[in-house]
């Protein structure tokens, strides 16, 4: 077993499915249990760590390794996972097979979290031996990334007044440096028909039929914005449909949810307003567009910023892909960036395995990610760039 195997097995073994606004069920479970494990594991290795409650029973864990400079490098990854329904492997067993560890959260994002923990412990050990890192290192394991981002917002409140040189946000990127990702705005569209008896459909207005015109338009009309060099085009798709009361009733209402992925430079609420105007004009008086239920922002960090530059340097020294990339999914990095913290997304594992029925990560990649993070931090110069 690699050095990450036992650690990641323990992390995956603690069920921390995001309750999505509901109560946390069961003792010794949830984000709090993972946060406590992270804090205890780091404390046993000489790293000062504390739990900081964000919502009742749902804390972040924050650990600090002092550096020579008062500024800090932030390592941030999340504690929560998505649900386990439909999984084809035991979600919490942490089964290891052919060098891969299987289970919910193995790559999203307990694999990156384990890599950050290993890196933090190594940096703390060197610091205790008289070789502190150039900058302080703060490791934050945050709650609620998979739902409403409350963990990173709480972290930002705690960091108020801290001078942060930059951040690495742990997500499965196949060990490449991602300096850009898409944002999103999600909203509900409703068609209003007139319900009636299915034996006399001509006397009713079928809301499902009306909605088919809306869906057809969404399929044919791509967002009219230029593509991003790392992210490609903006996208828009229907993710859920709800309609009908019974098999013999012409439906008077139908609803869909729309997921619009935004590019850097697009403001999600402006995008929603434009979509609302476009969709309500399709069938005047018959289409309603609700206010968004999810709003998140895109990321576009300059590749020359100190932390991405240092990470790319560490990747190059290890013979890995040292170019910058973009990711189609959203992360906590966009919230950090909007607060003025240049952020790069990085970690072991592939997004193709995240949330999957057989989610897994290669343990060798977790170990390599830890080494690359150590080298990234050590190569940062007090002057602001790489040493």
Neighbours of 200 (CB within 10 A): 9
State yes or no: cis peptide before 109, omega within 30 of 0.
Answer: yes
CA distances 135 to 36, 63, 67, 85, Å, are 25, 14, 4, 42
pLDDT at position 386: 39
Residues of the chain where predicted confidence (pLDDT) is lower than 50: 384-387
Neighbours of 352 (CB within 10 A): 10
pLDDT at position 385: 43
Determine contact, residues 66/136, Cβ cutoff 8 Å.
yes
Nearest to 31 by CA among 4, 6, 65, 56: 56
Instruction: Name residue, tokens 């780091």.
Output: 42
Burial of 5 (0-12, 13-18, 19+ CB in 10 A): middle
Q: Is 272 helix (H, G, I), strand (E, B) or coil?
A: helix
Neighbours of 351 (CB within 10 A): 16
Determine contact, residues 379/310, Cβ cutoff 8 Å.
yes
Q: Is 27 helix (H, G, I), strand (E, B) or coil?
A: coil
Residues in the chain: 387
The dihedral region occupied by 270, where left means phi > 0, alpha psi between -120 and 50, and beta the remainder, is alpha
Determine contact, residues 218/239, Cβ cutoff 8 Å.
no
pTM of the model: 0.93
Determine contact, residues 77/62, Cβ cutoff 8 Å.
no
What DSSP character marks residue 203?
A: G
Angle at 327 between CA 162 and CA 95, to 5 degrees: 90
Can you list the alpha helix ranges (DSSP code H) found in 89-189?
110-128, 150-158
In the chain, the largest separation of any two C-alpha atoms, in whole Å, equals 85
Angle at 152 between CA 172 and CA 62, to 5 degrees: 90
pLDDT at position 162: 76
pLDDT at position 24: 74
Determine contact, residues 307/166, Cβ cutoff 8 Å.
yes
Q: Is the dihedral of CA 164, 170, 176, 180 positive or negative?
A: negative
Determine contact, residues 208/220, Cβ cutoff 8 Å.
no
Cα gap 343→169, rounded to integer Å: 7
């Amino acid at each position: 077993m690699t050095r990450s195997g036992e650690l990641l097995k323990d992390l995956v073994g603690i069920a921390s499915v995001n309750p999505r606004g509901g109560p946390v069920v069961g003792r010794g479970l949830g984000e709090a249990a993972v946060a406590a494990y992270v804090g205890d594991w780091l404390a046993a290795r000489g790293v000062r760590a504390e739990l900081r409650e964000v919502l009742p029973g749902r804390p972040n864990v924050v650990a600090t390794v002092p550096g020579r400079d008062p500024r800090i490098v932030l390592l941030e990854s999340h504690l929560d996972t998505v649900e386990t329904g439909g999984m084809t492997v035991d979600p919490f067993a942490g089964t290891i097979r052919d060098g891969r560890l299987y289970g919910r959260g193995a790559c999203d994002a307990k694999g990156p979290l384990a890599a950050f923990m290993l890196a933090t412990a190594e940096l703390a050990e060197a610091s205790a031996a008289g070789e502190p890192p150039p900058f302080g290192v703060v490791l934050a394991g945050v709650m609620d990334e998979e739902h409403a981002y409350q963990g990173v917002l709480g972290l930002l409140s705690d960091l108020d007044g801290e001078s942060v040189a930059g951040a690495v946000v742990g997500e499965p990127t196949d060990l490449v440096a991602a300096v850009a990702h898409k944002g999103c705005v999600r909203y509900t569209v409703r068609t209003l028909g007139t319900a009636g008896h299915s034996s006399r459909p001509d006397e009713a207005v079928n809301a499902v039929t009306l909605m088919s015109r809306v869906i057809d338009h969404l399929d044919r009309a791509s967002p009219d914005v230029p593509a991003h060099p790392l992210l490609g085009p903006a996208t828009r798709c229907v993710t859920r449909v709800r309609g009908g009361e019974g098999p013999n009733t012409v439906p008077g209402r139908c609803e869909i949810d729309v997921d619009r992925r935004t590019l850097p430079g697009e403001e999600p609420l402006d995008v929603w307003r434009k979509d609302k105007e476009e969709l309500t004009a399709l069938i005047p008086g018959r289409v309603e567009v609700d206010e968004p239920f999810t709003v998140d922002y895109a990321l576009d960090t300059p590749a020359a910023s100190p932390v991405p530059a240092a990470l790319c340097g560490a990747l190059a020294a290890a013979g890995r892909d040292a170019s910058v990339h973009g990711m189609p999914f959203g992360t906590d990095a966009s919230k950090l960036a909007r607060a003025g913290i240049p952020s790069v997304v990085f970690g072991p594992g592939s997004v193709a395995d995240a949330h999957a029925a057989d989610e897994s990560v290669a343990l060798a990649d977790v170990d390599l990610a830890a080494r690359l993070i150590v080298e990234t931090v050590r190569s940062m110069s007090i002057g602001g760039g790489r040493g």
